[in-house]
Amino acid sequence: MKIIDKIKSYYKSAYTMGHFPSWVEVFTTKKKIYAYYGFLGDNNFGDELVFESAKKIFEPHILFPFRRFMPVSMKMYSYFFKKRFSGIVIGGGTLIGPLFWNENFFTTLLALKIPVYVHGTGVHKNLGFSKKWESVFNEQVFGGVRGEISKANLIEIYPSAKIAGDAAFVFFDKHNWNLKPAENRNVLINIGTHLNYEEQMSSRMELKTFIKSLIDNKYNVQFLPFHFIDNQLGAQLKEEFPEIELLEQPKNYICAENIFKNCSFAIGERLHFTVMAILSHCPFISINYRSKHVDLLESIGLSHAGLQPGKFSSSLLYDIFCNRFYFNWACSENMLAKFKQMQISEASNFMSGK
């Protein structure tokens, strides 16, 4: 049974999720092909959003994810036609740190002296970088990391690091962002993490009390999962609060934007839940259980919209919620526009080899 499950998992990841170009396209195209380094296939909206943003910024060229589970034709292509790759794109997420995946493939590409584009990638606190990362940042590097924390963590091996904001900032649309925010009674909630964090129990208890206050005051609470493991947490919340509406995980950026634009407030743990609130101009609170949240919010002057777990109360949350229409966006619009333009400009230079 385990073998059958593994085969099903392989087939799903390699052939049904739409991540890979067709073999006809890669063998006949005159477009450039870029190797994509990043997580995919784990039903994580954040990973999919970053990949979607990368495809957008590198159109009309081809992104070629190199992963453990790949179509046989793509695996063969990556082995025999490495010289067809024009560059490497390092996706978003906190990827730069002690580990380096798929070393043989990417090391071979780096030996060809092709350029690297860093797409708003986060950097772990430096506890000892893989030597492979040093080779990445010895070549032509374009793009930038997520924020000041990531930049500071990378200085040891790459003093010239730039800040590009989150990868998804390339979706920023000034016109849509300046439309009047929703004034309905929908409130979005998200909880879900890969690993437990300190003060998790107490912060989620306070969040439950906040949810009860919303329901008691006739607000429509909607739970939005951004990863398949969030669904179980949403189901548990609904058992306790039957009034909660469980939404499906968004399929893409537009689906997520439509959900956020139809809500007047959002509070959640997932990093790209916060990113979507920002891009949708929806007042929000980020539960800053890791430094990546601080890194993100500081980059666009929204540090005030993040709260450390265990340092907030349900009454504080409700006060912030009641004042949501006075949310201080300050200079965020200018920063979002700046990062979007920077990403586009750096991508252009990367593709042209400047």
The CATH number for 240's domain is 3.40.50.2000
pLDDT at 46: 96
Is residue 25 within 8 A of residue 82, CB to CB? The reply is: no
What rounded mean pLDDT belongs to the chain?
92
Q: What is the pLDDT of residue 34?
A: 97
Same domain, 291 and 248: yes
| Average pLDDT rounded to a whole number, residues 276-303 | 96
Same domain for 154 and 233, yes or no, is no
Q: Are residues 136 and 220 in the same domain?
A: no
| pLDDT tens for each residue of 135-180 | 889 779 999 999 999 999 999 889 999 999 999 999 999 988 888 7
> In terms of residue numbers, what domain contains 152?
2-164
- In 198-264, at which residue ranges do the beta strands (DSSP E only) sit? 220-223, 245-246
β-sheet bridge partners, residue 62: 33
Last residue of a domain, one of 125, 145, 164: 164
Answer yes or no: is 300 within a domain.
yes
pLDDT of residue 276: 98
Is the pLDDT higher at 135 or at 292? 292
Q: At what angle do helices 45-57 and 332-352 cross, to 10 degrees?
A: 60
The proportion of the chain whose per-residue pLDDT surpasses 90, expressed as a percent, equals 75
169 falls within a domain: no
3-state secondary structure of 58: coil
Please report whether residue 343 resides in a domain: no
For the stretch 314-324, pLDDT in tens is 999 999 999 99
In this predicted structure, the answer to whether residue 306 has a pLDDT above a threshold of 90 is yes
Decide: residue 28, CB within 10 A, 0-12 exposed, 13-18 middle, 19+ buried.
exposed
Split at pLDDT 50, 70, 90, the class of 327 is: very high
Measured distance CA(221)–CA(324) in Å, rounded: 15
| pLDDT on residue 127 | 58
Across the range 126-130, mean pLDDT stands at 69
In tens, the pLDDT along 36-72 reads 999 888 889 999 999 999 999 999 999 999 988 889 9
Mean pLDDT across the stretch 289-302?
96
Residue 15 confidence (pLDDT): 81
- C-alpha neighbours within 13 Å on the C-beta side of residue 81: 18
Instruction: Report yes or no on 353 lying in a domain.
Output: no
**349 is a domain residue:** no
Are 240 and 325 in a shared domain? yes
Q: Is residue 1's pLDDT more than 60?
A: no
- Are 106 and 209 part of one and the same domain? no
For residue 353, pLDDT beyond 80: no
Instruction: Give the model's pLDDT for residue 192.
Output: 95
Alpha-carbon span 317 to 320, nearest angstrom: 5
Same domain, residue pair 201 and 291: yes
The DSSP secondary-structure symbol of 163 reads: B
Residues 114 and 184 in one domain: no
Does 351 reside within a domain? no
